[in-house]
């Protein structure tokens, strides 16, 4: 079942991502000699570093007794969202050839623990694993075709999806936190600095 879900997620995501490419003419492709100006590997690594930092800070701000909170029956709890992100980090990297040391394919991975410390540790480990693997990828690796996900798909598109997936669930996690009266730590820090600046004597 998990493999079917992964396949569905990947196909839908990549179909959306490549919809625009399908309409590009072949003549235009062959005549465009301008080198790409977007470093997908570098940007994904920057994004993942920031995502890990924010997920860790937010997870740390959520009390243990809120890890089981969910907005409705049948919806992932706070802790389950964090483990879902963990599982996805491993899954995307496995798709492009990585070998996670964690058995993330287990049916109940998202429900495997409600312990805050364990969840935060597992989430951090998954981000470190993904970042380390991506950092070691060459340009040739990035451009390796993944035609099972679309005629123009490559491994670079998969690591892009990894980052966008984490961004999606960071937004979800922020909403969960705010509903429970928890302000994201980076926002609280920015507000604190603004308050201090506003209170400072004007020259």
What angle separates helix 78-95 from helix 155-179, to the nearest 10 degrees?
180
62-181, which class in CATH? mainly alpha
Would you say the pTM of this structure is higher than 0.75?
Answer: yes
Least Cα distance to 51 among 133, 154, 174, 135 occurs for 174
pLDDT, residue 27, reads: 54
Q: Which residue has 């070998």 as its token pair?
A: 99
pLDDT, residue 57, reads: 98
Query: What is the SS3 assignment for 72?
Result: coil
62 versus 23: the higher-pLDDT residue is 62
Q: Is 75 exposed, middle or buried (0-12, 13-18, 19+ CB in 10 A)?
A: exposed
Evaluate if residue 111 carries a pLDDT over 70. Answer: yes
pLDDT, residue 30, reads: 61
Arithmetic mean of pLDDT, 25-48: 75
Arithmetic mean of pLDDT, 166-178: 98
pLDDT, residue 90, reads: 96
Evaluate if residue 73 carries a pLDDT over 50. Answer: yes
CA 190/CA 185 separation, integer angstroms: 9
């Amino acid at each position: 079942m998990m493999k079917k879900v992964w396949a569905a997620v990947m196909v839908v995501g990549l179909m959306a991502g490549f919809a625009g490419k399908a309409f590009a003419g072949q003549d235009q492709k062959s005549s465009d000699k301008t080198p790409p100006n977007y470093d997908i590997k570098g940007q994904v690594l920057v994004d993942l570093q920031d995502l890990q930092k924010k997920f860790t800070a937010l997870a740390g701000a959520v009390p243990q007794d809120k890890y089981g909170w969910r907005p409705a029956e049948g919806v992932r709890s706070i802790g389950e969202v964090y483990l879902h992100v963990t599982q996805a980090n491993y899954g995307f990297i496995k798709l492009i050839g990585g070998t996670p040391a964690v058995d993330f394919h287990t049916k109940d991975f998202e429900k495997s623990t409600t312990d805050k410390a364990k969840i935060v540790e597992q989430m951090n480990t998954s981000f470190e694993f993904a970042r380390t693997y991506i950092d070691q990828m060459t340009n040739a690796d990035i451009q390796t075709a993944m035609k099972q996900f679309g005629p123009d798909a490559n491994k670079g598109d998969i690591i892009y999806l990894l980052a966008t997936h984490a961004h999606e669930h960071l937004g979800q996690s922020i909403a969960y936190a705010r509903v429970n009266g928890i302000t994201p730590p980076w926002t609280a820090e920015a507000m604190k600095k603004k308050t201090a600046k506003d209170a400072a004597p004007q020259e």
